[in-house]
Structure 1
Amino acid sequence: MLLDIQDLTKSFPGPEGPVPVLRGVTLALDRGESLALTGESGSGKSTLLHLVAGLDRADGGHILLDGEDVTGLDDRRRAALRRTKIGIVFQQFNLIPSLDVAANIAFQARLGGAVDKSRLDRLTVALGLEAHTRKYPEQLSGGQQQRVAIARTLAASPRLILADEPTGNLDEKTADEVMDQFLALVAETGAALLMVTHSPRLAGKLGRNIHLSQGRVA
């Protein structure tokens, strides 16, 4: 099992004490699988994703990635996981404004010391970005920027891809196009995909769906 989440809990401070957000979430995801995480706003979807990515710490439970407990790692080792094994696609594209498209795509792979020129070229072509490699993010449409963000994530060859409302800033037609390209490329890599979405339509494109309600798997 690539990802094994066991009895995960997380609370945040509130005016009257801790506010539970995750209340014992358990789920598993194997290599090559895709899983959509759905639920109402405030159900804990993004919090769960951030904990898996090592961007925040859980209060209790375990997150095992390739058998290694992410919850027990220090900041340096969790950052190393994000450079090598975990790729993240956010709703906000998070491109670097001072870098052109080609440099943005290569950025994550360079951080992880895993630059593969032929892979960069394949992703650029597959996502229809070959005519835009010398442009800067501000010169691109929203759909093009998200394609760059997807290419950047996949270029680093992560084993686990986390996506938080990756097409939430796009219109429905563009969202469907980008999502179909994204899923096809993820399938080619054999990586596992855990995606947060509010959209039942987009969730239906993934292999499995799990619904969170009030911090629990419904």
Structure 2
Amino acid sequence: MILSLSGVRKSYSSAEGTIEILKDIDLDVAAGESVALTGESGSGKSTLLHLAGGLDQPDAGSIIMNGQKLERFGERERANYRRTEVGLVFQHFNLIPSLSVAANVSFHAKLADRYDPAWEKRLIERLGLEDFLARYPEQLSGGQQQRVAIGRTLAARPPLVLADEPTGNLDEATGDAVLDLMLSLAGSAGSALLLVTHSSRLADRLDRKVVLRGGRIAE
């Protein structure tokens, strides 16, 4: 397994007291597998993704990624993990506005010391970005920006791609095209994909669907 969560719990403090978000989560994702994470708003999907991405830490339980126990990491190891082991794709793109499309695509790969011009050229061609390399994010449509975000993530060939509602800001046709590319290119990169979505239709296109309900994985 590329990713394994065992007995993972997470809660947050609020004015009303402690709110349990995740309760004893057990989840395995195999290398190269695509898994859809679905469930109602507030069921803990994004929280789970943030824990797997090293953006937050669980209150209890274990998260093992590629043989490494994330709970043993200090801040430096956690930052290196985010740089080299996982790729993150968000609903709001999070491109660097001062960088061109070409520079945005290569940014993560260069940071991770995995820049491969031949692979990046293939990504750019598959993503249909050849004519936009000199443009800046504000000059692109939402669908084009999401394609750049996918290219930036996959350019480093991360073992695991975590995507949080990556088509949420796109119309259905554009969202379908973006998901097609993400699945195809993640497969070409050899990356596992854990994708949060509210859409059962999109979830059904992945290898497997996991439903969160009330902070637990529904049977």
Q: Does the TM-score normalized on the shorter chain lie above 0.5?
A: yes
Equivalent residues of 1:54, 1:71 under 8 A apart? no
Counterparts of 2:187 and 2:204 in 1: how far apart (Å)?
A: 16
Match for residue 108 of structure 2?
Answer: 108
Counterparts of 1:197 and 1:74 in 2: how far apart (Å)?
A: 30
How many pairs does the alignment contain? 218
Counterparts of 1:49 and 1:136 in 2: how far apart (Å)?
A: 28
Match for residue 117 of structure 1?
Answer: 117
Match for residue 177 of structure 1?
Answer: 177
Aligned residue for 2:57, secondary structure, equals coil
Deviations 1:5-40 (A, max 9, x none): 001000000123211000111010111101000000
Note the 1:49-64 alignment, pairs <5 A.
49-64=49-64
Residue identity (%) = 56
Q: With structure 1 as the length reference, what TM-score do the two structures score?
A: 0.99
Q: CA RMSD in A?
A: 0.7
Unaligned runs of 5+ in 1: none
Match for residue 96 of structure 1?
Answer: 96
Equivalent residues of 1:70, 1:78 under 8 A apart? yes
- The alpha carbon displacement at 1:215 in A equals 0.3
Deviations 1:26-84 (A, max 9, x none): 01011110100000000000000000101011100010011111122112111101111
Note the 1:42-81 alignment, pairs <5 A.
42-81=42-81
Counterparts of 1:66 and 1:217 in 2: how far apart (Å)?
A: 22
Match for residue 33 of structure 1?
Answer: 33
Match for residue 166 of structure 2?
Answer: 166
Deviations 1:114-164 (A, max 9, x none): 111111111000000000000000000000000000000000110000000
Aligned residue for 2:130, secondary structure, equals coil
Match for residue 136 of structure 2?
Answer: 136
Structure 1 stretches of 4+ moved >2 Å: none
Equivalent residues of 2:157, 2:190 under 8 A apart? no
Match for residue 209 of structure 2?
Answer: 209
Unaligned runs of 5+ in 2: none
Match for residue 197 of structure 1?
Answer: 197
65-74 or 2-11, larger mean C-alpha shift? 65-74
Equivalent residue letter for 1:43: S
Counterparts of 1:114 and 1:205 in 2: how far apart (Å)?
A: 30
